[in-house]
Amino acid sequence: MAKTLFDRPLFVKKSRYIQELASLEDVFNLLEEWPMDKRDVLYDVLVKACRMAAQGIFPVSAIRENARRFLTKAGTLANIQEVPLLASGINDRNLGS
């Protein structure tokens, strides 16, 4: 089985949240959810490349770069500075009780 994790994640702007893409599977999930009216040649190329990567024919690092380019062109790539990070001083409290 091919290595499917990226060396560092990508972040996608959604309408109400930021989605992390950290693996080939995450890219597959994103592509499944991609609106039909926005699917174009670039979408088809990325799907084909993902399938090849799943078979071990295409490098996963190239999938990350192709996904980055795809998301940039679509205007949905989130800048890492836009992603809120957890506060470093949070202790282990049970928030449920």
Residue 88: band (very low, low, confident or very high) from pLDDT cuts 50, 70, 90: very low
9-34: pLDDT as tens digits: 999 998 888 899 999 999 999 999 99
Could you state, in order of their start, the residue ranges of all structural domains in the chain? 22-80
Give pairs for 9-18: CB < 8 Å, separation 24+: 10/64, 10/67, 10/68, 10/71, 10/77, 11/77, 11/78, 11/79, 11/80, 11/82, 11/83, 12/71, 12/76, 12/77, 12/78, 13/76, 13/77, 13/78, 13/82, 14/76, 18/78, 18/82, 18/83
Q: Quick check: 65 pLDDT over 70? A: yes
Mean pLDDT of the chain: 85
Q: Quick check: 76 pLDDT over 60? A: yes
| Percent above pLDDT 90 for the chain | 67
Looking at per-residue confidence, does 13 or 81 come out higher? 13
